[in-house]
Structure 1
């Protein structure tokens, strides 16, 4: 989940100097914690949604994707354990907000579940990639491996295209649902960023001042929004 080019970033030298110490370790604990809980939640969500699939093929496909999410969860929690961190302790600060997000975005049927997985997983990947590109080489390598193994985006995109082709009436409903999901997901991402004040020191070599953090959050939000609009266009939907 990284572009692998953080050496080309103007802040790379400053960021590299910050890839050690207690502040950086606290950041990694939080970062891995929120990802781990997100992967565990995705596993639970896909496993549950698979039961309502319209075909056995769909059921098997979602089941495979759920297993993949759990494999990612195990990789992240193994990394936390290797850091000497209890994975449950790392995940716990994010449990309430992630659960609240899913409570606010309960899909009405299987097609909305499919769209939710497509939208939220893609935004999460974009979010993690944007942050991971500023981190140390070992962490980048871990995210590159996760990204290389990722299959859900293309699979979900293909299945949504089929559904929309079979029933064009779904388009307006799924477009509206997608807009609601992206709004909730961006609010969630902003909350995670702003609640961790030291993030500014990791994202910018100018230091963790409030203005710098706010500018970075706004820039990242704009980037996530642009990427979401492109994905909706691939479905023939308006973001």
Structure 2
């Protein structure tokens, strides 16, 4: 699990070692009440996360010479950018400045994003698929707390993320390379802890009490169930 203040990247190596550090379906709807952040925080985080997915995928496009991979990555990057711009439009409708709303979360979310970039392209593809899937689920759940603004964001996050071709690339690698299968399975498990930290950090209290933990437990249980389904679809164990 990544240390949010101190983390180091290991250089790539042929020996496959990890660096040191779907949706919620019919999950029970939880009223976060005082646990949910204010609407400005919610919008700023949701918008910047989508921009981060776009940036990570764009870097992968530039790094790969394979045209099929470029196509797969470009579709997913384009979908993330569309979502980002749509959430930015919601922010502007509220009379707020998008850059000012996102800026307080830039450093923290960049740290998370860089910590979940793998030493190899398939690890990074898996990172986007897993972390974006879990966090989109989480922010859709939070959206219920923000009235019409939340409904608009939920509709945006419900739009297809166009990651199917990326999933096909990951699945093909897993089927062809047992060593990579093992590596990606471990990498995905590590991503879960880091992603749950981001979700918890989005909630208003710095520390959740026992009663608060009970309120949010169904949501995190549902996030893990959806994650398990994504892993099963890839042919990996969660």
Task: Map Cα deviations across residues 150-185 of structure 1 (whole Å, 9 max, x no partner).
Answer: 322x33322211221222321100001001111111
- 1:137 Cα shift? 4.2
- Aligned-pair distance for 1:142? 4.0
Is residue 60–residue 121 contact of structure 2 (8 Å, CA) maintained in 1?
A: yes
Which structure has more helix as a fraction of its residues? 1
Q: CA deviation at 1:93?
A: 1.9
1:42 CA drift (Å)? 0.8
Give the structure 2 partner of residue 47 of structure 1: 58
Secondary structure (helix, strand or coil) at the match of 1:59 reads helix
Asked if 1:237 is matched to 2:236, the reply is yes
Distance 1:40 1:164, change over 3 A: same
- Check whether the contact 2:86–2:156 (CA below 8 A) recurs between aligned residues: no
Distance 1:5 1:27, change over 3 A: farther
Contact 1:32 1:80 in 2 (8 A): yes
| 1:176 to 1:192, Cα distance in 2 relative to 1, 3 A | same
Asked whether the equivalents of residues 72 and 146 of structure 1 are also in contact (C-alpha less than 8 Å), the reply is: yes
Contact 2:75 2:162 (C-alpha < 8 Å) held by counterparts: no
Q: Distance in 2 between matches of 1:144 and 1:2?
A: 13
Partner of 1:200: none
Distance 1:4 1:179, change over 3 A: closer
Q: Does the aligned pair in 2 maintain the 1:4–1:140 contact within 8 Å?
A: no
Distance 1:160 1:77 in 2: 31
**Aligned counterpart, 1:99:** 110
Q: Which of 177, 186, 189 is the matching residue for 1:167? A: 177
User: What is the distance in 2 between the residues matched to 1:74 and 1:40?
Assistant: 9
Displacement of 1:44 in angstroms is: 0.7
**Partner in structure 1 of residue 44 of structure 2:** 33
Q: Is the 8 A contact 2:24 2:222 kept in 1?
A: no
Question: How far has the Cα of 1:10 moved from its partner?
Answer: 8.8
| Structure 2 unaligned residues grouped into runs of 5+ | 1-21
Q: How far apart are 1:115 and its partner, in Å?
A: 0.7
Q: TM-score, normalised by structure 2?
A: 0.78
